[in-house]
Structure 1
């Protein structure tokens, strides 16, 4: 078996960097039995990303690419998608980057993908999302945490009456029987702790690979000090003596200036007096390495219902209303278009709190935590497939670490 060679399309800073690098070691333990597929029909797993930054992070967890010397598989007539093929661990995976965000684009892309890759059994939708600050059972959701779908709620599909909107019942379990067991185990303390440990190790490897490719600290954990949750009715706007339309602000329906749409909280003067205190302890989120200045971060993983729609949620008030009514813990834009095309498991890192203070600072790290979690789940899936062969478990080599309730 040839050594791992990973081709990356990485967006570092403001310039795209197309680079090729080889690693002298395997990201995962190389396992007997994996092989390069002879044709498209042999692929069983698809990973779908909506944004280039999500695709970049997923590429960093591939152990080997099958298309280093050109696309060996091609596509079926009528399929306009472009694919990346390779393996993660010993799972052959086809990776697709959507041409546009949203449900319609996702549904169209997956329908075309099924024309070419007729043997697909499961799709993983991997990327970033907006998080609801707290789960239904009262646990904090922090930036960089990972959300795994239990169900999908298409929250913007229904009927608008003069006095109300009534959503059509579209809640669904959007995963195959093969993967449903993993989400159930992720809801147990032992299963979640194992998945967190595996994800943390794979995230560290991803960060190392990114550093080798010239991306520096692109995927480094930004830190708790930069994880800021504002009260839901505290608007992202100019606060300090504004000379624009922001000075006419009276309530959440008042207009704000266009500059607000791209400016950061520090640029607008958003006050820390309106920050929401979080109950989750620092120790449960990260551990300081005494020998370096780096923070070793172990992302927390949550399972639950995900709200999917064609609107980017940027309202803390609306976020909380929908979350309370539907029992959702995250917002995203593609899952509702995929679930009726193919069994789908959504794995997304929390990059913002789905409010007006939404900013891009956490997007790369959140994409990395999602990619690492997807890789960990594929490793566990491989172990399940091979259990009858009596081969070792990847998880039995993970150091035992304490589990902190609520994390």
Structure 2
């Protein structure tokens, strides 16, 4: 099927945001077509400093943005600019890598392995609160909490919590992972996205510190508890270099199952498991197993990352992150490219399941290009000033005595100019 290049920015429905170049690289390998091979034709709004890559994934036109810095503030700024320049965005996908809590908090105690993928059901801003002399208290109030996704996203995510929905998603994720690896091979990057192997998936006991375990003269020799300091050299060294002992590794059944598949030389060993749950987001790189487990238990989160809280209330968003480490002091970069690849593969699998909304026909637009509002057999045109009102919202006209009306949506007020083909009575409900 031939796809036509968009003629304007409003024809883009999907935004993809990455916080690191390695995350962007993985996503770019799964675009089916680029619209900017010969340069950008779409421009951007005044004040927007983002640089975009445009293309197509499946049936969707997508715009990619790479952040220049990590963290919530930079992500929020980039997301606001995307919203300004690309007004037709229905769904934003934050795609990349994160640290994982080793066991999912879902009552079943599921294991989470490196390379698995987390899809956000909610995002918890875990570093927003008050710091007292003896403790930190997260601000768990209406103002301090991030909202739930919109109904469109919630209805999509709930399908991935069904057996058939999750099975389909994981099967297509595995397929697109192989496609990504094949595309990387064609560009001479084949080794970058190879499965690191079960031998490299190491989860140490939470109390086991990443310090010099070989004879040394540094402060590591006096480190005997989770709160004792270690030297800077140890923090920057690998487990092999400082002698971390494998006898302190946690035994895991699912990892053993993957190891058996690996011994049988099965491609299934690299297939990630997809988990849907709450993600902790903050401006802190989590490298403490003790804090990881405490926050995971208290907040019910299964992963830690740094951008989700910034985008969450700027655009309708799903966070898709591959597990590259266990958010502990043994954290390293060995799994980052593969985790970015599994997240990108899940992104493409999700877009396959995201139902496309019919385009608005010209017959449903007024001469100025505004969508007409329908109620029964009557049609109205409404200009709304104030907060954004999205398709599907219900508006209530409070009066029909004037051409300018007060419109109510869940307690918020908007001014609107209503052009009616017939009378509009007080209390009528209309849908945009």
Q: Normalised by the size of structure 1, how large is the TM-score?
A: 0.83
1:167: which partner in 2?
A: 138
Corresponding position: 1:86 with 2:60? no
Residues 144-159 of structure 1 correspond to what in structure 2 (within 5 A)? 144-159=115-130
Corresponding position: 1:102 with 2:64? no
Question: 1:91, CA displacement in angstroms?
Answer: 0.5
Gap change, CA 1:176 and 1:45, over 3 Å in 2 = farther
Kept in 2, the 8 Å contact 1:199–1:369? The answer is yes
2:209: which partner in 1?
A: 235
- The alignment partner of 2:122 has SS state of strand
Q: How far apart are the structure 1 equivalents of 2:23 and 2:327? A: 18
CA RMSD of aligned residues (A): 1.9
Match of 1:224 among 177, 195, 198: 198
1:18-42 C-alpha deviation (Å, 9 max, x unpaired): xxxxxxxxxxxx4x6x432111111
- The alignment partner of 2:209 has SS state of coil
Question: 1:295, CA displacement in angstroms?
Answer: 6.0
Question: 1:159, CA displacement in angstroms?
Answer: 1.2
1:344: which partner in 2?
A: 317
Question: 1:241, CA displacement in angstroms?
Answer: 0.5
Number of equivalenced pairs:
353
Gaps of 5+ in 1: 1-29, 387-407
Question: 1:285, CA displacement in angstroms?
Answer: 7.9
1:354-381 C-alpha deviation (Å, 9 max, x unpaired): 0000000000000000000000011111
1:329: which partner in 2?
A: 302
Residues 224-373 of structure 1 correspond to what in structure 2 (within 5 A)? 224-280=198-254, 282-283=256-257, 287=261, 297-373=270-346
1:267-295 C-alpha deviation (Å, 9 max, x unpaired): 110011111111225446884596x6866
Kept in 2, the 8 Å contact 1:151–1:171? The answer is no
- The alignment partner of 1:68 has SS state of coil
1:195: which partner in 2?
A: 169
Kept in 2, the 8 Å contact 1:289–1:296? The answer is no
Gap change, CA 1:182 and 1:36, over 3 Å in 2 = same
- The alignment partner of 1:217 has SS state of helix
Which structure is larger by alpha-carbon Rg, 1 or 2? 2
- The alignment partner of 1:141 has SS state of coil
Kept in 2, the 8 Å contact 1:43–1:119? The answer is yes
Q: Give the stretch that moved more between structures: 110-119 or 93-102.
A: 110-119
Q: How far apart are the structure 2 equivalents of 1:270 and 1:353? A: 16
Q: How far apart are the structure 1 equivalents of 2:162 and 2:129? A: 34
Question: 1:385, CA displacement in angstroms?
Answer: 4.6
1:200-244 C-alpha deviation (Å, 9 max, x unpaired): 000000000001101121101111111000011111111111232
Match of 2:8 among 26, 31, 39: 39
Kept in 2, the 8 Å contact 1:147–1:301? The answer is yes
Q: How far apart are the structure 1 equivalents of 2:75 and 2:6? A: 25
Q: How far apart are the structure 2 equivalents of 1:285 and 1:115? A: 48
Gaps of 5+ in 2: 359-432
Kept in 2, the 8 Å contact 1:174–1:344? The answer is no
Question: 1:173, CA displacement in angstroms?
Answer: 4.8
Match of 1:213 among 171, 187, 194: 187
Kept in 2, the 8 Å contact 1:174–1:345? The answer is no
Q: How far apart are the structure 2 equivalents of 1:327 and 1:95? A: 31
Question: 1:161, CA displacement in angstroms?
Answer: 2.1
Corresponding position: 1:60 with 2:29? yes
Q: How far apart are the structure 2 equivalents of 1:93 and 1:255? A: 46
Question: 1:179, CA displacement in angstroms?
Answer: 2.6
Kept in 2, the 8 Å contact 1:122–1:176? The answer is no
Question: 1:257, CA displacement in angstroms?
Answer: 1.6
